[in-house]
Chain A
Amino acid sequence: AQKVTQAQTEISVVEKEDVTLDCVYETRDTTYYLFWYKQPPSGELVFLIRRNSFDEQNEISGRYSWNFQKSTSSFNFTITASQVVDSAVYFCALSVSTSGTYKYIFGTGTRLKVLA
C-alpha cells in the first residue's frame, strides 16, 4: 500500500522555538519521490522541497531543514527559530504512479501555530 502518515495533527509553539514536523511513508516502489507543501491560511499550496529515494542527503534552506531516512521511511521537516508567518498547514506527499503518470498521495497535514 502507498500511504503517508503525519501523526501530528496540530502543533503550537512560541515564536523563535524550533519545531519538527514528522512524516512517515509506505511504498513498495524502489524509486519514489517525496515532497513537502505549505498551505497558509489563504489556501494555496506552496511547494517547499522534493526528495527522491536515491538521495538521502539532508538539506538546509535558510531556517528550513529536511531529514530523509530510508531506514525508518521518514522525511521530517524542521523549522528553526519559527516565526508567526510560518503558521500554516504543512503536507507531506508521496508521488506514486499507477498508469505511467504520477499523482500525489498526501498525508493528513500538520497544522502549525506559531504564537507571538
Chain B
Amino acid sequence: AAGVIQSPRHLIKEKRETATLKCYPIPRHDTVYWYQQGPGQDPQFLISFYEKMQSDKGSIPDRFSAQQFSDYHSELNMSSLELGDSALYFCASSLGIAGGYNEQFFGPGTRLTVL
C-alpha cells in the first residue's frame, strides 16, 4: 500500500540558510499535518491543511511557512535557520472527513541538521 513520502530524508544546512521539505500524502487523503520532533522529545504539531486550506496552526515559528498544492502535496519552508531547528520533521496524512477517529499515517521523516 502507498505510504506518505517525504523528501529529502536527510538535510544539512548552515545557520541562516533556508530549507524546503516536501511531503506527498497517501492518495485520497485530504488532510496533511507537519510535526517537529527534537532530540529525545515527543513530536510537536506545527501546522495542518485540509483540502489545500490551512486548517490549524501550532507552535510554528514565523520563519516557517507551509502550503498544500493542487495535487495535495505539501511543502514546509524554513528560513533563517537556527541551530535549534535541528530536528526530525514528520509529515502525516489522514482522511479528515471522519474527524479525529481516523489515524494519521506518518512519513519516514526528514532529519534536518543545522550547523
Contact = CB atoms under 8 A, between A and B. Distances in A.
Interface of A: 32-33, 35, 37, 43-47, 50, 52, 91, 95-109
Given A45-B43, A101-B96, A107-B42, 14 more contacts: A32-B100, A35-B103, A44-B106, A44-B109, A45-B106, A47-B104, A95-B100, A100-B50, A100-B55, A101-B55, A102-B96, A102-B100, A105-B45, A108-B41
Interface residues of B, number: 29
Contact of A33 (B90, B92, B101, B105): B101
Contact of B50 (A52, A101, A106): A101
Task: Name the residue in A32, A45, A95, A98 with the highest tally of chain B Cβ atoms < 10 Å from its Cβ.
Answer: A45
B90 A106 contact: no
A54 B8 CA distance: 40
A98 B56 contact: yes
B21 to A, nearest CB: 15
B45 A43 contact: no
Contact of B56 (A43, A50, A101): A101
B45 A104 contact: yes
Contact of B103 (A47, A97, A99, A101): A47
B108 A96 contact: no
Nearest to B111: A43
B61 interface: no
Contacts of B44: 106
B45 A103 contact: yes
B34 to A, nearest CB: 10
Nearest to B50: A101
Contacts of B100: 32-33, 95-97, 102
B108 to A, nearest CB: 5
